[in-house]
Chain A
Amino acid sequence: MGRIHGLRGRIAVIGNPNSGKSSLFNHLTGLRQKTGNFPGVTVERRSGALRLPDGTDIQVVDFPGTYSLYPTSLDERVVFDVLSNPKGEDFPDLVIYVADAMRLDQHLLLLSQIRDLGIPVLLALNLIDSAVASGVRFDAHALGIRLGIPTIEVNGRTGEGTGLLIQQIEHLYNDIWTEHSQAAPFTLTPAMQDLVRDIREAFPWVTRDYQALIIAHHLHELTYLQPEEVEQIHEILQRHPFVSLRAQVDEIMERFQHIDRIVKEVRNQEGGHRNRLTARVDRVFTHVVWGPMIFVIFLMFIFQAVFTWSTLPMEWIERIFSELGGGIKYALGEGWLSSLLADGVVAGLGGVLVFIPQIVLLFLLVALLEESGYMARAVYLFDRLLRKVGLNGRSIVALVSGTACAIPAVMSTRTITNQKERLITILVTPFISCSARLPVYALLIGLMVPAGKVLGLVSYQALTFMGLYVLGAAAAMVGAWVFNRVLKTEEPGYLLMELPDYQVPHWRNVVFTVWSKVASFVREAGKIIIMISIVLWFLASFSLPGRMALAEEAARTEAAIQGLDEGETEALIASQKIESSYAGMLGKGLEPVIRPLGFDWKIGIALVTSFAAREVFVGTMATIYSIGSVDDESSIRQKMGAELNPVTGRKKYSFPVALSLLLFYVFAMQCMSTIAVVKKETGTWKWPLIQLVVMTGLAYVVSLIAYQGLTALGY
């Protein structure tokens, strides 16, 4: 079988946003997909294997949707970066170009640009049902001949036509590929011809005029050029009259003239009709008053669903892992190895997997909104409001998701194409009070706020709860405003976006989206979370030689004197052990720093351990106050509430201490999982560390002011 020499077995799927590109990609590759990043940038790269009928595997890469080779967002830059570099790893043998038949003229622009780069193209003309229903007909065969490239009709939703597409791909790989010549859609001006000739002479690997032109346009954005190459091309550009923006506009207009002629020939009807259902639904959904209200209702539903529907599976996961830990201890007996496996590895793994029900639910609901076309409306509605503080319409998704859990929320920011707006969204999302803060709030509010009701209606405690959520949201807004002042960007902000016709979400796309996000969370964030869990386990289980044994001895003696039963003795031992562990030493070492906030070393230990996850605070307090059962929240509250301050003789968890601690938990970045996911999403440790310093610093200052202020006032 004759293979074209030098083929790498790599295909790119490219098209405009909303062209049905990702659906087709899913049909081609099935479940055998991998997600990662394009080299050098944090742009998601989905790839999968396509098995040809002759048994060869071809790698298919899904590129971000883009309208032309002159994009405005960082994500879309990947397309020209990869396609203008034949030496690059991702450079394809073939581009499968997906175009929506209904918007053929618009979608042929990028196609004509890619053709000029000299890469073989296969046009997949996506004829969705609505196109057929609206009575518009296309002559795909004639289109293929006019364009000079093989053209296959496909249906992205059903996968119809995928077989023919694969046949054509096989033709390319078996050397029976024919392309017809076509009239040039775009000709270079004499001045540009001189320019590209100079570039091609200096760089022999630039084999096409249009490739040279693309390099000239995007000189400072290309990731593969060496600094000296950039300098050299820059010098060439200096010698020629070349205004990038003007040239882009002229080029696009010229291409469209050519495209319009072709489209007129192959389409039987002029367009102009709106999708009636979309128009009717949007009359309400994008209404100046009803629109925002409907959005809030959707959000409340999502929040409620993520919050309540995930409770049961989360409990199962927790139980499975605690059983597993118990089983390991039983099988291996007591010892550091069984403790490492049970309390470190298994507990850490459980700590990762326990988030999965929330992540799955949230992404499922968000994917449904996205796939149905609704999300674009929310962005349209809230763009202005959020832009004022440096966010983006799409940030609203992350901010609301954050009330459940910051981890899926941070991951959902991938839909924000402006990198600065996305970064700010990631930075402020953890300010939103998540579900893990709830147990901490519950414990401390119980200590601090009396049980009465305002006017016999709303309880003081519920009001305090609400106040804490509002405080978190306010911190997110102010934080965004500040980051917006500090961070610089060259990327122009824009809204300009399609509001696609509403459609019934396709289960395949929804399942793939949810699956790939959950898998990448477990893989990437999971590694870091387990590592930190093991470190925390080590700190809580070990101490300087002999100290632990001494503490246990002392606890046994104490228990014998007081005549405690077996359970109480075990609890006392655990309490004494954690006090003498490295974590306990850290807590005590921390005491001078946190004393101005009204915290003692016991809270210090809990601050250290609850870095694993905020709710661990309650469990640690239970251990320190030697309560056998972690679930018994009311008895912890009683013990903490009854404790007296040895110096003042007053209650230790006084109003100022409890409030200070509450405020600390509202603002502080007390969550290693979030740090892990921010590191993963931003691709550097810089941002999670800045976040940690800013949030925890703010928490410290606010708690300090609250505690010192209240104490000075005599509370």
Chain B
Amino acid sequence: MTTPLTLADVQPGRPVRITHVEEHPSTGRLLAMGLRPGQRVTLVRRTAFGASYYIHAEYQQFGIRRDEAEILWVEYTD
């Protein structure tokens, strides 16, 4: 049983899988850039005060803002 969590809450270094993307003006862009349900991602690190997130997904890295990470619902895969 896993508690629902967003990419903004996960522990750095632990791989997760995206389960759902909330509707938001940025949703289309997130999906188009490959951050879509089923995709495995890892939060690598944050900038100071948790403002921006460095994440890794299949062959590439992204920088995203906290509010963008908050619409990505995920579950741990390990």
Please state if A72 and B47 are interface contacts (CB–CB under 8 Å): no
Option from B28, B37, B40, B65 in Cβ contact (under 8 Å) with A245: B28
Tell me the complex Cα distance, A67–B23, Å: 18
Please state if B34 and A105 are interface contacts (CB–CB under 8 Å): yes
Which residues of chain A are near B36, meaning CB under 8 Å?
252-253, 256
Q: Flag the segment in A207-215, A495-503, A566-574, A585-593 that touches B.
A: A495-503
Option from A271, A291, A496 in Cβ contact (under 8 Å) with B26: A496
Tell me the complex Cα distance, A109–B29, Å: 12
Q: Flag the segment in A25-33, A233-241, A272-280, A355-363 that touches B.
A: A272-280
| Residue B33 is within 8 A (CB to CB) of chain A in the complex | yes
Which residues of chain A are near B34, meaning CB under 8 Å?
103, 105-106
Please state if B33 and A70 are interface contacts (CB–CB under 8 Å): no
Question: What is the 8 Å Cβ interface bit string for chain A, positions 53-93, against chain B (1 contact, 0 not)?
Answer: 00000000000000110111000000000000000000000
Option from B29, B33, B45 in Cβ contact (under 8 Å) with A286: B45
Indicate whether A383 sits within 8 Å of B52 (C-beta atoms), given known contacts A70-B32, A288-B47, A499-B62: yes
CB of B59 to closest CB in A, whole Å: 5
CB of B69 to closest CB in A, whole Å: 10
Tell me the complex Cα distance, A459–B36, Å: 59
Please state if A106 and B33 are interface contacts (CB–CB under 8 Å): yes
CB of B71 to closest CB in A, whole Å: 11
Indicate whether A278 sits within 8 Å of B52 (C-beta atoms), given known contacts A67-B33, A249-B27, A252-B32: no
Q: Which 6 A-B pairs have the closest CB atoms?
A: A384-B51, A380-B63, A67-B32, A499-B61, A106-B34, A68-B32
CB of B61 to closest CB in A, whole Å: 4
Question: What is the 8 Å Cβ interface bit string for chain B, positions 50-61, against chain A (1 contact, 0 not)?
Answer: 011010101111
| Residue A318 is within 8 A (CB to CB) of chain B in the complex | no
Please state if A249 and B26 are interface contacts (CB–CB under 8 Å): no
Indicate whether A271 sits within 8 Å of B58 (C-beta atoms), given known contacts A72-B28, A376-B63, A496-B63: yes
Interface residues of A (CB under 8 A from B): 67-68, 70-72, 102-103, 105-106, 109-110, 245-246, 248-249, 252-253, 256, 271-275, 278, 282, 286-288, 291, 376-377, 379-381, 383-384, 492, 494-501
Which residues of chain B are near A282, meaning CB under 8 Å?
44, 54, 61
Please state if A106 and B45 are interface contacts (CB–CB under 8 Å): no
CB of A263 to closest CB in B, whole Å: 11
The contact sample of 10 A-B pairs, CB cut-off 8 A, is A102-B60, A248-B27, A272-B58, A288-B45, A380-B54, A492-B25, A494-B29, A495-B68, A496-B65, A497-B62
Option from B23, B25, B30, B47 in Cβ contact (under 8 Å) with A384: B47
CB of A386 to closest CB in B, whole Å: 11
Please state if B63 and A495 are interface contacts (CB–CB under 8 Å): yes
Q: Residues of B within 8 Å of A, CB-based: how many?
A: 34
| Residue of A whose beta carbon sits closest to that of B63 | A380
CB of B38 to closest CB in A, whole Å: 8
| Residue B48 is within 8 A (CB to CB) of chain A in the complex | yes
Which residues of chain B are near A103, meaning CB under 8 Å?
34, 58-60
| Residue of B whose beta carbon sits closest to that of A380 | B63
Which residues of chain A are near B44, meaning CB under 8 Å?
282
Residue from B28, B45, B58 with most neighbouring chain A CB atoms (10 Å): B28
Tell me the complex Cα distance, A624–B63, Å: 56
Tell me the complex Cα distance, A498–B47, Å: 16
Indicate whether A246 sits within 8 Å of B23 (C-beta atoms), given known contacts A253-B36, A380-B54: yes
Q: 18 other contacts beyond A72-B26, A496-B29, with CB at 8 A cut-off?
A: A67-B29, A68-B28, A70-B32, A102-B60, A252-B28, A271-B59, A272-B58, A286-B45, A287-B45, A288-B45, A288-B48, A383-B51, A492-B25, A496-B64, A498-B60, A498-B62, A499-B63, A501-B61
Tell me the complex Cα distance, A200–B30, Å: 31
Which residues of chain B are near A274, meaning CB under 8 Å?
56, 59, 61
| Residue of A whose beta carbon sits closest to that of B69 | A496
Please state if A106 and B62 are interface contacts (CB–CB under 8 Å): no
Which residues of chain A are near B60, meaning CB under 8 Å?
102-103, 498-501
Indicate whether A381 sits within 8 Å of B47 (C-beta atoms), given known contacts A102-B59, A494-B68, A496-B63: yes
